Structure 1
Amino acid sequence: MSDYRKVKIKVKSVEGTCHAGHKPGDEWVVEAHTPEGLCVHAYSALDPMIRAFMFDASIPWLDEEGRLELVCPDPDNPVVFTLEKMD
């Protein structure tokens, strides 16, 4: 048994052109390392909340299903990601 939870990352939407090629519906599971194929810039933006999810931090602004939406740092081609804890 690990000391942390796995976190699922899913692309919800893409406006413009994602230069990493991400498309709505793409998914990754984060365990201990950056998942292969996920844009490093997006991962850097998501990482603080991924770590919070992994260690069950209290986050008051989650949606009804316990998910969180975050956006990559490209202001011209925003990609919206959904994070959720896995059992």
Structure 2
Amino acid sequence: MDLRSRIEASYKRIAQEAYDKGYADSIKDIMDLRFGGMPDESLAALREIKDVAVMRSIQNAALSWDRDEVLTLIAQSRSA
């Protein structure tokens, strides 16, 4: 792998990590505003999720004011 390819791969990895973190931060902010926060264990599990479809489902549940669904989806993704 040449230097240019390694640099491009590094930038893609960094961008993906920032994107993943952004989803988790967005969901955390929604939970903080609507429900006064979320359990630390759920937040830690949320930060480990890498599947964008799962993150979108969790975010949609948070936006629809369904706290229990958010926590259930996070717990299910942890066991997967």
Considering fraction of residues, name the structure with more strand: 1
Structure number with greater Rg is: 2
| TM-score (structure 1 length as normaliser) | 0.28
Return the TM-score normalized by structure 2. 0.29
Instruction: Return the structure number with greater helix share.
Output: 2
